[in-house]
Amino acid sequence: MTVNVDASRCIGCGMCAAAVPAVFQIQGRVSVVQAQPRTPAEEAGAFDAANGCPVNAIRARKA
Ligand code: SF4
């Protein structure tokens, strides 16, 4: 799975970083992907974060 955050959409709510800190980290006012998901739990968390992002800024692609 590959995830990325569209910084132009992110409002820095922190939800994704709180849910999956191994993958997402707030830097400044936006979330960045600090590491791609490596475990099934991280992949599931990243997928949930993508679905839960209030501004649809997270893309999660299988591959
Ligand atoms: S959940 Fe969405 S809006 Fe909130 S910090 Fe993460 S990417 Fe940004």
CATH number, residue 42: 3.30.70.20
**Residue whose CA is at the smallest distance from ligand 1 atom 8:** 10
62, pLDDT greater than 90:
no
Ligand 1, atom 1: closest residue by C-alpha: 53
- Name the pLDDT band for 1 (thresholds 50, 70, 90): very high
Q: How far is the CA of 44 from the centre of ligand 1 (A)?
A: 16
What does the pLDDT read at residue 63? 72
Q: Which amino acid is at 22?
A: A
Binding site membership of 46 for ligand 1 (Cβ less than 6 Å): no
Q: Distance between CA atoms of 24 and 8, rounded to whole angstroms?
A: 16
Nearest Cα neighbor of 9 from 59, 63, 56, 60 is 56
**Cα 43 to averaged position of ligand 1 atoms, centre (Å):** 16
SS3 of residue 44 by DSSP = helix
Rounded to whole angstroms, how far apart are CA atoms 46 and 25? Answer: 12
Domain range for 40: 2-61
pLDDT tens string 12-61: 999 999 999 999 999 999 999 999 999 999 999 999 999 999 999 999 99
